[in-house]
Chains A and B, each alone.
Chain A
Amino acid sequence: MGSNILMIFVKVVTRGSGLKVSAVVSINLLVILLFRNNALTPYLTMLLSMVASAAIIIIDFRLHSLLLYVLYVYGSRPNTVRILISLYSLLIASILSLPYLAIDLMSFSSALTSTFLIALSTLSLIYKNVRGGTSITF
């Protein structure tokens, strides 16, 4: 995948979802600061991240579908479009999970890691639907 296509992708993600992602991360950080001694806080931030991810995908659905479609129409290879979809999923999920990961690093537990993996699986399922909605036949 060329660096130019990556540039288009980063631009769209930043302009389309950047503000929303920043807001969610800020809220999560605030929750951590306010309730740092509560054992449920990591789960709460994880839940917030998941709900926010789903909301961002729904809100920006048209933009993401359009970008993928336009890239495909104007000559991107199908594999490039596939990689972009996965990369976008990973990027949003990672950024939204930053507050949670900070807690996880400080107090590692298998329960937290399992929750995190379940959250990521859920996100990839949602993205599968996004891909289905782009009307691209690979």
Chain B
Amino acid sequence: MGDVVVLLKDVWKTYDEGNNKVVVLKKINASLMRGEIVGIHGPSGSGKTTLLKLIAGLIRPDRGEIIVDGYNLNMLDDNGLAMIRNTVVSYIPQDYGVIDEFTVFENVELPMLIAGVGKEERVRRVREVLEYIGLYNKVNVKTKLLSGGERQRVAIARALVMTPSVLLADEPTANLDWNTALKVIELFKNIREDFKTTIVIVTHDPRLLDLMDRSFTLMDGYLKDTTYKRREL
């Protein structure tokens, strides 16, 4: 750990709902260090996914600054944000975003295809990451034939294949039983150790927060660092 990889400065985000404006995030300030695992907890609809999408460069804030691995996202145009999503930040959606018509190999190579990586290099990197994740024996299997835990690992492999600085996981354990969930968290810890990746995990399960380096709670639009509170308990 050491340098700041994600910096959020006075970030606000509002959504239009008909004639009403709903303020989802209010004056969010946080700094996430390289190689730490951070948990974000909060009730449904509290803006957890919105926060992840802002860090991933999928949406833009109304106010404030987001700096990811030295890139100020406000300063980037749409193509710049696309580059960030391809190489700097990886976002794993809640339903994993795995394409069922594709094999494990085809799903994992997808970010490299977008980046224009050559075939030999793609094959080598997919093999490496699948061996690391423990799914190489399923490389040519269509993902619709895999279990929930395996599909989750395919999504993690795909997010990892470009070796991003930041990995964002939206409710990665929501559809898994407790033991499988613990294995997923263990995998994230290994990734942190081996790749020095900063990992942000959004969860509705407060038990998982005890397994993180730091924890935040998102409530009524405000983000609070609750690490110490949990440790005192």
> What is A's interface to B at a CB cutoff of 8 Å?
2, 4-5, 7-8, 11-12, 15-16, 63, 66-67, 69-79, 137-138
A4 near B101 with CB under 8 A, answer: no
Contacts A4-B116, A75-B115 given; does A70 touch B82 at CB 8 Å: no
- For chain B, the bracket of interface size reads 20 to 34
Please state if B91 and A73 are interface contacts (CB–CB under 8 Å): yes
Majority DSSP secondary structure for residues of A touching B = helix
Instruction: Decide if B58 touches A73 in the complex (CB within 8 Å).
Output: yes
Which of B105-113, B175-183, B221-229 lines the interface with chain A?
B105-113
Known: A7-B113, A11-B106. A75 touches B85 (CB 8 A): yes
Chain A residues near B97: list those with CB within 8 A: 66, 69-70, 73
Interchain nearest-CB distance for A13 vs B (Å): 10
Give A63 Cβ to nearest chain B Cβ, in Å: 7
Report the nearest A residue to B86, measured CB to CB.
A75
List 13 interface pairs A-B (beta carbons < 8 Å), by A numbering.
A4-B114, A5-B113, A8-B113, A11-B102, A12-B99, A15-B102, A16-B101, A63-B100, A69-B93, A70-B97, A73-B56, A75-B111, A78-B82
Contact, CB under 8 Å: B101 / A70:
no
Residue of B nearest to A75 (CB): B86
Give the interface of B toward A (CB within 8 A): 56, 58-59, 78-79, 82-87, 90-91, 93, 97, 99-102, 106, 110-111, 113-116, 158
B87 touches A75 (CB 8 A): yes
A29 to B19, CA, bound (A): 51
Query: Smallest CB–CB gap between A65 and chain B, Å?
Result: 11
Partner of A75, one of B101, B102, B114: B114
Q: Which residues of A contact B106 (CB under 8 A)?
A: 11
Question: How far is it, in angstroms, between the C-alpha of A16 and the C-alpha of B58 when the chains are bound?
Answer: 26
